[in-house]
Homo-oligomer: A and B are copies of this chain.
């Protein structure tokens, strides 16, 4: 396939949007994406669109994609909704990359949207549970936090990590979120506050969990050879991969390492011709703090069982040698499910172009990691400033 690049990326603010539906949220991200295209965005050039969404709340479960794109005036083109729970955005990007890479299309939108905060009570519990296995987890009463709590229990038992290492992930990501004007939580927390928060599912407490979030994000994928028509500073996607696994924890060989992520990462590194050591910074899927530690290991940044040392040693802090979640991550930036994988693209796009303001880090090779549910699906992308 031919090489591809991102030439525009934008997002809504993440947080509470009581007066916006998914159409308005999508339009905000779309407009921000259009604005970010340095030499101007022409909607007539767009050939196709992929929209990641779990459809939380069910306001428009059918033809969700075209309901959004037609709202911003894009009609005619092939548009579809892509669903892989919290990895819906990542898979929307995977489709866009393949559509452009194949030569079939020359400009494809990869986007995501979710509106979660107007749910309450049972509806909320239902929608947050649909990413686990229905038969063996959700209907048996397991909450989504409960799934990751089991993973965390096992991780703490198998390794030398302690709960404070989980809290330090939250503290780090809040430090970054405090500098991100699009983040849901733009404030720092202390280790003491994070460690002492009310428990939600032993051993996870409130500060181990990402919030529920309204938000949308949007990116424009074009052929690498065409990128300079749009900007002097394209971001090339040099590696990509997706993976899947059994949804229910009990079906997996291990629960402290996600095989879907390892499959996706292998494919992405292989295609990019890069090793984990060559990644300068990363956005990873920290839906719960434990998930960030697993990500370190599954992405090859740390050996198995040693991921907690990266946060202990400050290596993944903004001033460390491998900054992770400079955006604030899902923990502080927020987690509008279907939008998250594309929101990660926005952060990488801004960082690699030197547009990340107070949270700017150095680097020319970046990675994003998006996980569906507890690891039933995952994508990994490698981004570079040069081809």
Asked whether A134 and B59 contact (CB < 8 A) given A66-B376, A101-B104, the answer is yes
Asked whether A244 and B62 contact (CB < 8 A) given A1-B102, A1-B104, A98-B98, the answer is no
Q: Determine if A65 is an interface residue (Cβ-Cβ < 8 Å).
A: yes
- A58 cross-chain contacts in B, Cβ below 8 A: 130
Q: How many residues of A contact B (CB 8 A)?
A: 62
- A372 cross-chain contacts in B, Cβ below 8 A: 62-63, 66
Asked whether A130 and B78 contact (CB < 8 A) given A104-B1, A245-B70, the answer is no
Complex Cα spacing A63 to B131, Å: 6
Q: Determine if A348 is an interface residue (Cβ-Cβ < 8 Å).
A: no
Q: Determine if A112 is an interface residue (Cβ-Cβ < 8 Å).
A: no
**Number of this chain's copies in the complex:** 2
Q: Which of B55, B59, B244 contacts A65 (CB 8 A)?
A: B244
Decide: A77 and B130 in contact? CB cutoff 8 A.
no
Decide: B80 and A81 in contact? CB cutoff 8 A.
no
Interface residues as binary, A80-124 with B (CB distance below 8 Å gives 1, 0 otherwise): 111111010001001100110111100000000000000000000
Complex Cα spacing A75 to B48, Å: 29
- A21 cross-chain contacts in B, Cβ below 8 A: 135
- A66 cross-chain contacts in B, Cβ below 8 A: 84, 244-247, 260, 372, 376-377
Interface CB pairs A-B, < 8 A, 23: A1-B102, A1-B104, A60-B134, A62-B132, A63-B83, A63-B87, A66-B245, A66-B247, A66-B376, A67-B376, A69-B244, A70-B244, A70-B251, A75-B246, A77-B263, A78-B91, A78-B241, A78-B379, A79-B244, A80-B83, A82-B83, A95-B98, A98-B102
Task: Name A residues whose Cβ lies closer than 8 Å to a Cβ of B.
Answer: 1, 21, 48, 54-55, 58-67, 69-70, 74-85, 87, 91, 94-95, 98-99, 101-104, 130-135, 241-247, 251, 259-260, 263-264, 372-373, 376-377, 379
